[in-house]
Amino acid sequence: MTPNPPTRQPSRTAAALLAGFVLIVALSTLTDLALHRTGVFPPEGQPMPDVLWALATAYRIAYGIAGCWLAARLAPDRPMWHALALGWLGVVLSTFGTVATWNLGPAFGPKWYPIALVLTALPSAWVGGKLRRPGPQ
């Protein structure tokens, strides 16, 4: 007797990806706002030193891992696929952001910052997926 193949659940897949994406965006936005309001970051539109851009990169990596873990956790099947799909979305959106802000001046950060976001999206997604997956891989 052959077991029934799993049925695809596109609405649960979409919900898992959306939940992970919303978590990443919400945490990043709220952290940015909190750091601006507390004076850790300068007012919006003002240049920041590289060390603060590094801080922003670090928490975006952590939030990327958390969001991809959530997408994998909520996935109806193939958790790593869900985590990496969200990571690829991060690559695409970060690439668009890099292109859109490349020549807009220092208020949009040093050139390395958007490149770092592009380069860390997939590794962060992989870590999030690995944290979700039980057992040896």
Overall pTM > 0.85: yes
Please report whether residue 20 resides in a domain: yes
SS3 of the chain: the string is CCCCCCCCCHHHHHHHHHHHHHHHHHHHHHHHHHHHHCCCCCCCCCCCCHHHHHHHHHHHHHHHHHHHHHHHHHCCCCHHHHHHHHHHHHHHHHHHHHHHHCCCCHHHCCCHHHHHHHHHHHHHHHHHHHHHCCCCC
Please report whether residue 58 resides in a domain: yes
- What average pLDDT is seen over the chain? 92
pLDDT at 10: 84
Range of the domain at 81: 12-132
Please report whether residue 137 resides in a domain: no
pLDDT tens sequence across 16-69: 999 999 999 999 999 999 999 999 999 988 889 999 999 999 999 999 999 999
Please report whether residue 88 resides in a domain: yes
pLDDT tens sequence across 80-136: 999 999 999 999 999 999 999 999 888 788 999 999 999 999 999 999 999 986 654
Please report whether residue 56 resides in a domain: yes
- What's the number of domains the chain is made of? 1
Please report whether residue 23 resides in a domain: yes
